[in-house]
Amino acid sequence: MTVKGWLGLGLVLGASHAQGMANEPTEHAVKVDGHYRPQRVEPAPHRGVDYLFDLAWDSKYVSEGRRELDRGGIFWAGTGVQWDDLLPFAGVGRGDTEHYIEWNFGLEYGFSLTDSVEASVGYERIEIYGDERDDDNELLAALGYSRWDKFEPALTYHYSTGADGHFVELSIHSHWSLTEQIVVSPYVLQAFDYGFVNEDYRGANHLQLGVEAEWALSEAEWALSGRI
Amino acid sequence: MGVVGGRVGVVGAHLSTMWAQGSIKDEARLVGDQVKDESLFGVMMSIAL
């Protein structure tokens, strides 16, 4: 079974980070494995509902230790609605070289365990159209610890009903603000596979090092327009 | 027709490299349980309204 996506969540996390810079956030977004992963997102202080949109491109599609596409990268587009602690989301990925289309639909619920520990649980339905047809259901959970300014440990968990397997990622991000708007975050991640990717494999899956950079745009700079 | 102002937005990029211990495979050259290291990069843009 192939899996992945979290585009909807990507929106949330990216937006969360931006909100943070503008509104003194209580936490940072965390991205793992080149994709955004679930983390609690505080509702905007002035509104109960946020509408989130996201566009992305990756040079390769590597997910949970699998390279999903032999050639080329993948475009992603997603949307979600942050309503208090609930986040219904939808996303679509399309290979830029190979014939591959993946739809993700899901719902996430975020909550705080303590002042410094945020958690989320969610469900995601995955539909894949391409040279091969596939689908899957995933249960997801995430924990993040935000007490330290410079180091942010996180844990993400996936369970695939199709594979009947588990996948766990432990990561530590370090956030460095170069300016008020630009944050650079190197990270280290260790993943573990328990029958999620390989039916017969149990143990360490891959070690990952990465760096992420985000530039938060101010409110007034944005304008979306449409015309019929 | 409509125009809406965006409240917050983020433009980002990432670079990752990973060393396989388990199951990262190159399907085109897969031999048995051979695993493979990977590197990738990406860009993203997010907006919240």
The label of the residue with tokens 């975020």 reads A110
Structure tokens at B47: 């907006």
* Short-list A110, A103, A164, CA closest to A139: A164
Contacts for A121 with CB less than 8 Å, ≥ 6 apart: A108, A109, A139, A140, A141
Residue-wise DSSP of A31-72: EETTEE-----PPPTT-SEEEEEEEEEESS-EETTEE--SSS
Q: pTM for this structure? A: 0.78
Inter-chain contact B24–A205, Cβ cutoff 8 Å? yes
How far is residue A122's CA from residue A139's CA, in Å, rounded to a whole number? 6
Nearest to B16 among A208, A217, A224 (CB): A208
Q: Give the nearest chain B residue to A214 (CA atoms).
A: B12
Mutate: best of A64, A168, A214, partner B, most B CBs <10 A: A214
Domain boundaries, chain A: 8-227
Torsion over CA: A90, A106, A210, A21 (sign): positive
Structure tokens at A14: 């990216």
How far is residue A197's CA from residue A168's CA, in Å, rounded to a whole number? 11
Q: Name residue A51's beta-bridge partners.
A: A81
* 8 Å CB contact between A135 and A159: no
Given this model, what pLDDT does residue B25 score? 65
Mutate: best of B3, B11, B14, B29, partner A, most A CBs <10 A: B14
Residues of A in contact with B11 (CB under 8 A): 214-215, 217
Under DSSP, is residue A204 helix (H, G, I), strand (E, B) or coil? strand
Looking at the complex, does the CB of residue A216 fall below 8 Å from at least one CB of chain B? yes
Nearest to A215 among B11, B36, B47 (CB): B11
Residues of B in contact with A166 (CB under 8 A): none
- At residue A6, what is the residue type? W
Given this model, what pLDDT does residue A30 score? 35
Domain A8-227 has CATH 1.10.3470: no
Looking at the complex, does the CB of residue A223 fall below 8 Å from at least one CB of chain B? yes
Under DSSP, is residue A22 helix (H, G, I), strand (E, B) or coil? helix
Residues of A in contact with B6 (CB under 8 A): 217, 219, 221-224
Query: Is the confidence at residue B8, as pLDDT, over 90?
Result: no
Mutate: best of B1, B15, B16, partner A, most A CBs <10 A: B16
* 8 Å CB contact between A13 and A39: yes
> The complex's ipTM?
0.77
Q: In the structure, what pLDDT confidence band is assigned to residue B23 with cuts at 50, 70 and 90?
A: confident
pLDDT in tens, chain A (228 residues): 333 333 333 333 333 333 333 333 333 333 333 344 434 344 444 457 888 999 999 999 988 878 889 899 999 999 999 888 999 999 999 999 999 999 999 999 999 999 999 999 999 999 999 888 999 999 999 999 999 988 999 999 999 999 999 999 999 999 999 998 899 999 999 999 999 988 888 899 999 999 999 998 865 455 555 555
Taking CB atoms and an 8 Å cut-off, how many pairs form between chains A and B? Answer: 188
* Short-list A77, A82, A86, A127, CA closest to A103: A127
